[in-house]
Amino acid sequence: MKNRIIFCGTPDIAAGILESLLEIESIEVVAVITQPDRFVGRKKVLTPSPVKVVANENDILVLQPEKIGTITLEVQNLKPDFMVTCAYGQFVPQKILDLFKNCINVHGSLLPKYRGGSPIQYSIMNGDEVSGISLMKMIKQMDAGEVYVQEEIKIEPNDNSGSLFLKMTSLGQSMIKKYLSKILSGEIKGKPQDESQVTFAYNKVGEQEKID
């Protein structure tokens, strides 16, 4: 019997992860949760998230709550086994996490470095030579759960956040296909993060993204 998965994500990197999930024979993506459609550009065109586009192309149920905590009953009725998330854009409350056997997050840094919503941007801003992807257990505290597996990626001198996002997407897709089934089965165990090495990459605002 296939594991029933609900996927939470919003931007392009998350859409890439969803595409990889759909290639794994041992799971069934029964729904995606993504941010509501937003008005984009000067003409204010109402635009779906990249994750919603992929979901619609594959006839997957789409849920778009303003606050994820408001759809507890809808999630419960889907009888999911596991949640997988990547760059969803909302804090997932405990009452949602409790509906799953386990919740796995695809995080764009080598945890415990750069917990938070802008790890890829911070790695560029701080001139890091390497970054990577961490597959980790979601808990109530932000990006603080056990880490199952990590892989590094080199940051080239000419990389910007856009090019690094593309590399991270490719790496995340590969890792999901390579490791997720083993994590869900318990074959790969999580390891606690070293709290003495924690740094944060909080969501950036427009003013911070201006080039000096």
Give per-residue pLDDT as tens, 15-73. 999 999 999 999 999 999 999 999 998 999 999 999 999 999 999 999 999 999 999 99
Q: List Cα–Cα distances, 60 to 8, 31, 102, 149, 176, in angstroms.
A: 12, 6, 21, 28, 19
Q: Which of 145, 38, 162, 1 is nearest to 85 (CA)?
A: 145
Q: What is the pLDDT of residues 81-135, one digit of tens each?
A: 999 999 999 999 999 999 999 999 999 999 999 999 999 999 999 999 999 999 9
Domain edges within the chain: 1-100
CATH topology of domain 1-100: Rossmann fold (3.40.50)
